[in-house]
Amino acid sequence: MNDTETRLRDYLHSQAATVPDTAQGPGLERSTRRRHWPVLATAAAIAVVLVVTVTFLTRLAPDSSVPVPAGPPPGPVSNAAPEVPYTVLTGEKVTDLHATLHDGDRTVSIPRGVSGFFGRVDGGWLAMSGPRGDHAAILKPDGTLRTLGPDHIELPALSPNRSQIAVIHRLEDTKGELVVVDVKSGKEVSRSPQLPVMPSQLGWAKDGIWYRVDEVGAPNKPTAYSLHFWKPKSDHVMDVAFPNYDGGLAAPPTSDVVALTTRKGNNRCLKAGVLRDGAFDEAREYCDVAAAATYPVLSPDGRTMVSSDVKLAIDVQTGKQTKLRLPANTRVTEWPEPVFENVSQLLLVTEPDANNRLPVQEQVFRCDVRSGECAAVLKTVRTTLHRP
């Protein structure tokens, strides 16, 4: 399976529940360009692959409303069901696929028009809804939806205490703004200055909201990325200088740490740090030689980053590297991204390293990043992991 086919497969899997019952097949996106990294256009759909990375430097005091989950003591890795929400799709044709959300002992049939899940909130799960995913919504355990915020939004993000959501609000002429909405009341509580270019990714860390802007250049010229920071209720947007920025951004709500990706010649690198006096203060760097792309994740406490492309866990404080003992001849999927259940155990979706046709047999593994030991958890054709 080539890269384009893989990304199209992942897009169709994650978006299948958005196809109306009367649809004859996947439709084209609206003509307004949505800027994401990287974006691969096909005749059927646009695949959006979000890159996430992070590590550890210094952290603010933990937010008592969102405790960092403690991992089990070192020992054998359990093959119990995932402790994070996940979706499973069934069906053979795109228009026949049906999605169910699983979270502990709760299983919910996902209504048509609902796509993407961004964490547990208000007794349900934050999602996007609408024919093209144009609204933020909370899916309730009974299958009903409660919409939040303005129309024409992208990629909602939960605040550190999960009492608010931030959304990218699309404006005319490809401009945008960030809007913050209170979950309980549904009222807008803050709005950023209007931004000349619409953001393409959000991360709400403990100290504020990070976002990325993609500047698409001339044909055959790489997209340029820039980093920005905004504190809700502030009229000032900060531009964060970061040389050779390559589009990866992760800002976990349980830490003030962010992680970014850079490019050095043919190398792709991960860098972790914090915003200090208006600049990115780097703590740790890890590089892969000639990597096609880098898709790492960070543990909730910020102590471990994972380069899923090479199946490697890195202790950010010491630099110790631990190989994840996944089966040979498998690779970790680019999307869905791996998700930490707690500070030491990670869930990953894998597939055969070489497969030239759909459907692909996927398998979910749980790995302990301290020992590298892994255990099989689920085996399905289509599985997507979601943030807790």
- 212-270 pLDDT, tens digit per residue, is 998 876 667 778 889 999 999 999 999 998 888 888 888 888 888 888 888 877 788 88
> Around 160, how many Cα atoms within 13 Å sit in the side-chain half-sphere?
24
Superfamily of domain 3-385: TolB, C-terminal domain (2.120.10.30)
pLDDT at 222: 73
State residue 17's pLDDT score. Answer: 42
Q: What does the domain layout of the chain look like in residue ranges?
A: 3-385
pLDDT at 89: 84
Label residue 18 by pLDDT band (50, 70, 90).
very low
Give the lowest-confidence range in 51-60, 195-204, 318-327.
Answer: 51-60
User: pLDDT tens-digit profile of 128-149?
Assistant: 998 766 889 999 999 999 999 9
Instruction: Name the band, by pLDDT with cuts 50, 70 and 90, for residue 67.
Output: low
Mean pLDDT of 181-187: 95
Can you give the pLDDT at residue 344? Answer: 94
Residue 85 contacts residue 103 (beta carbons within 8 Å): yes
Considering the chain, what is the average pLDDT of its residues?
A: 78
300-321 mean pLDDT: 86
Span 147-175, pLDDT tens digits: 999 988 888 999 999 999 999 998 877 78
